[in-house]
Amino acid sequence: NASPSILLPESIYSEHARSYFLALDGAQIYEEVRTPVGDFFLDYSAGKFILDDYAKRIGTSATNYVWRLMYERDGGRLRLALTSFDINLDLIAVPFSDPKYNLNVTLLSAQYNAENWSLTGEFSPAQKENLSNLVLPPGVHPLYPQGTKFSDLRKTGQSGYLQGTYNITPDWTALLRYDVSYPDRNNKAGTNRVAGVGGFTSPPPGSSAFAKDWTAGIGWKVRPDTRIRAEWHHINGTAWVYAREN
């Protein structure tokens, strides 16, 4: 189905990382089971991401794993899903260092579709990041001396959104969504952060530790193959913006 909004929920479908999830060289196993109480779908993928030119400058893709279990009832009226991502990158090696990056994400999803309205929510309670085996050579970072070890740097993020749509008429649809993201769920206010975090060369502002977005939108189906949409966003925080862009 087409997205009911112009911009996807950034907390779950990150603009920066979305291409990684859509470009994977590997294999997939898919299974579905139909039962009187509902339908079950399971897919499991393993492979390497096709990285863009910027990502190739910092590393190469190791083997990544993605699986999803979904339950569907009444032809899609109710959908529940559990998804897990295990993402691995081999960062460019430097002397005395063989750095590795791992991101493990668990995602809970639910959707209810009525005749004239739909309610969708997705929540990621734990987005676990781990950077290991990194030792800085001389001249790499002005804030840390040669030989500084970053062993098992860990951070756990949290994010999610709740979205409702309503069919005003068969051709007009309204949308309301709240979207929130915390890169570090143990420091949601961004206090007592140090330089070097997230690419900042000075202590990053507290606003970079969260992002909260209220969205209201309306869509008009001009023809079956043509839609016009307008959206209003009220965003507090810059967690979705890279330091080099902020």
How do the pLDDT tens digits run along the chain, 246 residues long? Answer: 567 899 999 999 887 666 555 577 899 999 999 999 999 999 999 998 887 776 777 778 888 999 999 999 998 999 999 999 998 888 876 665 678 888 899 999 999 999 999 999 999 998 888 887 766 555 555 545 555 565 567 788 999 999 999 999 999 999 999 999 998 888 887 776 554 544 445 566 778 889 999 999 999 999 988 999 999 999 999 888 765 555
**Tokens representing 7?**
């911009």
Strands 211-223 and 149-150: unpaired
CB neighbourhood size of 191 (10 A): 8
Distances (CA, A) of 231 to 8, 74, 215: 11, 31, 7
**Tokens representing 86?**
């295990």
**Tokens representing 53?**
């030119």
pTM for the full predicted model:
0.83
